Structure 1
Amino acid sequence: MTRWTPDPTFYPSPREAATAPAEKLAYVAAFDRTASRPDAIVVLDTDPDSPDYGRVVGWTDLPHLGDELHHFGWNACSSALCPTAPHPHVERRYLIVPGLRSSRIHVVDTQPDPRQPQVVKVIGPEELAERAGYSRPHTVHCGPDGIYLSALGGADGAEGPGGIAILDHTTFEVRGAWEADRGPQFLAYDVWWHLTQDVLVTSEWGTPSMIEDGIIGELLLGRRYGHAIHFWDLAKRRHVQRVDLGDAYQMPLELRPAHDPTKSYGFVGVVISVEDLSASIWLWHRDGDAWAVTKVIDIPAEPADPANLPDLLKPFGAVPPLVTDIDLSVDDRFLYVSCWGTGELRQYDVSDPMRPVQTGSVHLGGIVRRTAHPAAPDEALAGGPQMVEVSRDGKRVYVSNSLYGAWDDQFYPDGVGAWLAKLDVDVDAGGLTPDERFFPHGDEFRGLRVHQTRLQGGDASSDSYCFP
């Protein structure tokens, strides 16, 4: 008799996930801005007892040029244990790795040797276009019924609408577009959900032409980038409500819902206000039978000498925080906020989500500051904390420094370099401390820039849970 045993990295609840063993490896998306070399998945050793701790221990080149790896995710995760669409036989084994510029989707097998992952399938842009009507794949989430892939563009060169494609868990074929009725939604970016409440949430950035060459000043000041989030009926795949943050608040990007499936709230980060260059964090929550958003964190711009600023910012004489990623610990206690412009990672206690309290801060890089890492105190850093990933137990935070090729070049025109840092967390009182033993940077990444990190066995932004 055949017996199926769920993947041991799957957990029914966030409380149980927080007791999982510490990750031994991290997978990092690295890309070549010039498109003259292949992009790669880089493997880092995260075991502090290993002689290779903090070093590159695996490297997998992709088979084509010009992909620009950005976000990626696992084929399966703890949502496979949800009773509405159980898939306990699937494994957290494959990384689904889209190319934001090429519209290719790579399936990377991390077995049998997790240090030497192998590309086992490439889904061409024509399949994504023909079967789902989309291009420019961006964000990957493992759902209980398939792999959800957000996309910024339409098929055959169409600017939009962007939306969500569904991939099969096991064959990785593109099943089609997720939306049955998209209502007024046109711009796309992130997608997340409240699984047990049949609620899906999406955010907005811009169409491919609005983002591929960097921020377009006329569009930003004209308030043309995304400034709303959308709520959907997850089961019926129908648009329910659009909530506008106000067109001054441009680019609400990363969505982070509460991990506790009984909760009905989440956080979204807004890159910039065109009125004062500040960044902000907003909370979505129920308001009777509808949804509402409330601004709960403001992060002001910092005055600066125009001589030290890139051309885009010289007229303003200030550095915007540029909140470009956020992450929520599995216990829903700490929210981490990347201020890529000012070169700061902030930690907030969000035990009361309406009243966040800042509990930690670390500066690395920054457009003006160029703060060095303690492991290399004489090296001024470009870029800043950008993609942020939190371990399941909440004790470790990993940050990488590249945002997106065109944005890197605009805000760090003298070069963004490549670095990745690990920060240790005081889980009792709050606070962050850079780990001086863990700072891969420079030549270790062979001239590629580094973006998103995924942790072996799962991390705070990989999984969703159906039991409290």
Structure 2
Amino acid sequence: MVTWKPDPSFYPSPRMAMKAAPETLAYVVAFDPARAVPDELAVVDVDPKSPSYGQIVNTLAMPNVGDELHHFGWNACSSCLCPNAPHPHAERRYLVVPGLKSSRIHIIDTKPDGRNPSIVKVIEPGDVAERTGYSRPHTVHCGPEGIYVAALGNAEGKAPGGVFLMDHETFEVRGQWEMDRGPQQLSYDVWWHLGHDTLVTSEWGTPDTFENGLVPEILLGAKYGRRLHFWDLHKRKHLQTIDFGDKYQLVFELRPAHDPTKAYGFVNCVLSLEDLSSSIWVWHRDGEKWGVTKVIDIPAEPADADQLPPMLKGFNAVPPLVTDIDLSMDDRFLYVSCWGTGDLHQYDVSDPFKPQLTGKVRIGGIVSRASHPGAKNGALNGGPQMVEISRDGRRVYFTNSLYGAIDEQFYPDGVSGWMVKLDAQPDGGIAFDEKFFVEWPKSHRPHQVRLQGGDCSSDSYCYP
């Protein structure tokens, strides 16, 4: 008789994952923009019944300075239950935490005590470059056969960027994922449709074009990323490129439908060079190929030049700067972070081609500096940035820093870090949890959030 059971946080389907117990801890990476002290992984209490609710209850410092912790992910998740490459006895235990600036990868053990994580392995940038030819690891996703990591540059920090694989148990860097990259050169996010044997990647730019901030000449010359790439997941070969056109810049976050029978997903475009608007697009099947359709336009807001940072003074407007999106587990609600204006939008996307705005809050913003009911200080800077949703869709968490060098371009007095939580109603509508405002220590700025046990941008499923 076999008694070896799969990790209880793995679920065959998104519908079952929505019935999971509420999260009690959140893990948040935070970096020091001055590069004077090490970056940290913060542990935040998100259990409303706890006396330390809404507080940082522990921090784990990295062993070096200047990593710029950015995006990170779990070593294993519900895709471990997929029939094509099953390893159901892996455990969602380790966080894979890259430094975007250093290319160093930290493996952090969250057990036996989730409040006291520990570093168990550090993979040096030279090892990543030697085995993959890549640097600047950006996005981490657990897949059926290992850990996928999207890297923004080659070993020299130039093109091409791409995807590499790591072993989900030993954390050995296996090597470059692509067999045939076709025309793909720029990299940013990576995700997939497991049921349709398709991998999707998006684009930003090579590290030499953003590590000291966005370069206006490159941005206005439409030389940052503006394409989606579709790949054969099994054969690891490039199939198709979709170019959004030279007025669109920075095609970023990929959020495929969680239901594995659905062949569509959402992606944000940060900026239109025509009118500073942001947009949301749906990729979908179009006959034998893939197509994209723009479904949401978010306009820029007029503003006096004296209220704007130098980078925007000539435009007399605040761009929304949609820098992150997230899709609820039931594929019903899409959350959209407008880092420039300070808005967080909730859309009902039951029909992905006809989104309906169902909720909106404002906090921070380049001009508005909107406050929070739980904040001690009035005016807040930064704005909704990395957003994460609980598995049941009832709680939404977000932080306010984008990237060290870019923060100062749009918020010249720097970004004072915070994390907030929204309560979401089952049929639409969002509101601040007035008791949850985490003011970050001045030495660090928070970026991505991961929820203990999983969240809406961690897992992929093979059963509907």
TM-score when scaled to structure 2? 0.99
Q: Do residues 346 (structure 1) and 342 (structure 2) align?
A: no
Contact 1:231 1:242 in 2 (8 A): yes
Pairwise mapping of residues 68-217 of structure 1 onto structure 2 (< 5 A)? Answer: 68-155=68-155, 157-217=156-216
Question: Quick one: distance in 1 between partners of 2:6 and 2:159?
Answer: 39
SS in 2 for 1:271: strand
Read off the aligned partner of 2:8 and give its amino acid letter.
P
Question: Quick one: distance in 2 between partners of 1:169 and 1:4?
Answer: 18
**1:243 is matched with which residue?**
242
Pairwise mapping of residues 328-347 of structure 1 onto structure 2 (< 5 A)? Answer: 328-347=327-346
Structure 1 residue 214: Cα displacement: 1.1
**2:456 is matched with which residue?**
460
Question: Quick one: distance in 1 between partners of 2:267 and 2:313?
Answer: 28
SS in 1 for 2:39: strand
Read off the aligned partner of 1:189 and give its amino acid letter.
Y
**1:222 is matched with which residue?**
221
Structure 1 residue 369: Cα displacement: 0.2
Contact 1:337 1:346 in 2 (8 A): yes
**2:381 is matched with which residue?**
382
Structure 1 residue 213: Cα displacement: 1.1
Contact 1:279 1:321 in 2 (8 A): yes
SS in 2 for 1:437: strand
Read off the aligned partner of 2:100 and give its amino acid letter.
L
Structure 1 residue 376: Cα displacement: 2.2
**1:434 is matched with which residue?**
432
Structure 1 residue 377: Cα displacement: 6.5
Structure 1 residue 3: Cα displacement: 3.4
User: What is the aligned-residue identity percentage?
Assistant: 67
Question: Quick one: distance in 1 between partners of 2:246 and 2:208?
Answer: 20
User: Paired residues, what number?
Assistant: 464
Structure 1 residue 2: Cα displacement: 5.7
Pairwise mapping of residues 1-16 of structure 1 onto structure 2 (< 5 A)? Answer: 3-16=3-16
**2:51 is matched with which residue?**
51
SS in 2 for 1:130: helix
Read off the aligned partner of 1:92 and give its amino acid letter.
R
Contact 1:4 1:88 in 2 (8 A): no
Structure 1 residue 92: Cα displacement: 0.3
Structure 1 residue 38: Cα displacement: 0.4
Pairwise mapping of residues 391-402 of structure 1 onto structure 2 (< 5 A)? Answer: 391-402=390-401
**1:297 is matched with which residue?**
296
Question: Quick one: distance in 2 between partners of 1:91 and 1:239?
Answer: 31
SS in 1 for 2:127: helix
Pairwise mapping of residues 350-429 of structure 1 onto structure 2 (< 5 A)? Answer: 350-376=349-375, 378-428=377-427
Read off the aligned partner of 2:237 and give its amino acid letter.
R
Structure 1 residue 58: Cα displacement: 1.3
- Deviation string 1:290-340 (CA, Å, 9 cap, x unpaired) is 100000000000000000000000000000000000000000000000000
Question: Quick one: distance in 2 between partners of 1:415 and 1:322?
Answer: 17
Read off the aligned partner of 1:69 and give its amino acid letter.
L
Contact 1:138 1:151 in 2 (8 A): yes
Contact 2:251 2:270 in 1 (8 A): yes
Read off the aligned partner of 2:310 and give its amino acid letter.
D
Which runs of 5 or more structure 1 residues have no equivalent in the other structure? Answer: none
Which runs of 5 or more structure 2 residues have no equivalent in the other structure? Answer: none
Contact 2:73 2:141 in 1 (8 A): yes
Q: Do residues 322 (structure 1) and 318 (structure 2) align?
A: no
SS in 2 for 1:142: strand
Structure 1 residue 23: Cα displacement: 0.1
Q: Do residues 448 (structure 1) and 444 (structure 2) align?
A: yes
- Deviation string 1:78-118 (CA, Å, 9 cap, x unpaired) is 00000000011100000000000000000000011110100
Per mean C-alpha deviation after superposition, the further-off stretch among 382-391 and 445-454 is 445-454
Contact 2:157 2:208 in 1 (8 A): no
Shift of the 88–291 alpha-carbon distance from structure 1 to 2, 3 Å rule, reads same
Q: What value does the CA root-mean-square deviation take over the aligned residues?
A: 0.8
Structure 1 residue 244: Cα displacement: 0.7
**1:24 is matched with which residue?**
24
TM-score when scaled to structure 1? 0.98
